[in-house]
């Protein structure tokens, strides 16, 4: 596994609509593993492929330590209710902002082995999944936040 460079706001790749993954093969698995390692190294809870410069529809997330989700070609099937909370993004270092998200979602997509999986998420997990899904559409949370503010960055 290897750490990947995280691209930051201003890079046009973060604004592109990502393309579907044709097949979950060893190359895709390797990239997903690199994404997990990169996310953990950066102390993030999620990372989408465009954030490492790949315009493909896939992301990884670890909303609770030790529980990693990989979604390839994800689809949000249902979104219900609203919740409001603060978010940050590894591609927008040094900032946080308040964003309104669905309270509950149902999402499906391929897992690391190429098998179809379907989950229901609520609370913080739903926020993380929606945030990462948005990356695949070229959307950043700062587009939706009403009150972006600066935060102190943790020293690596
Ligand atoms: Zn992000």
What CATH number is attached to the domain comprising 30? 3.90.45.10
Residue 20 falls inside a structural domain: yes
Residue 73 falls inside a structural domain: yes
Is 132 designated active site? Answer: yes
Residue 5 falls inside a structural domain: no
Q: Which of 132, 137, 150, 155 is catalytic?
A: 132
Q: What is the pLDDT of residue 143?
A: 97
Six token digits for residue 7 = 């691209």
Give the domain extent around 28: 12-150
Neighbouring C-beta atoms of residue 92, cutoff 10 Å: 19
Q: What percent of the chain has pLDDT over 90?
A: 96
Distance 127 CA to ligand 1 centre (A): 11
Residue 128 falls inside a structural domain: yes
Domain total in the chain: 1
Residue 1 falls inside a structural domain: no
What is d(CA 103, CA 121) in angstroms, rounded to the nearest whole number? Answer: 8
Residue 90 falls inside a structural domain: yes
Does the pTM surpass 0.85? The reply is yes
Distance 46 CA to ligand 1 centre (A): 7
Distance 33 CA to ligand 1 centre (A): 18
pLDDT by residue (tens digit) across 52-89?
A: 999 999 999 999 999 999 999 999 999 999 999 999 99
pLDDT by residue (tens digit) across 117-148?
A: 999 999 999 999 999 999 999 999 999 998 99
């Amino acid at each position: 596994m290897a750490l990947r460079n995280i691209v930051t706001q201003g890079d046009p790749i973060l604004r592109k609509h990502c393309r579907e993954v044709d097949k979950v093969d060893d190359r895709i698995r390797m990239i997903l593993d690199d994404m997990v390692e990169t996310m953990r190294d950066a102390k993030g809870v999620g990372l989408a492929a465009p954030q490492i410069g790949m315009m493909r529809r896939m992301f990884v997330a670890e909303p609770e330590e030790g529980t990693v989700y990989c979604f390839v070609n994800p689809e949000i099937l249902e979104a219900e209710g609203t919740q409001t909370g603060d978010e940050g993004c590894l591609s927008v270092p040094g900032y946080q902002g308040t964003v309104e998200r669905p309270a509950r979602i149902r999402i499906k997509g391929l897992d690391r082995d190429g098998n179809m999986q379907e989950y229901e998420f609520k609370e913080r997990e739903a926020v993380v999944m929606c945030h990462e899904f948005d990356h695949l559409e070229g959307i950043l949370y700062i587009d939706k936040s009403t009150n972006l503010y600066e935060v102190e960055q943790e020293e690596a």
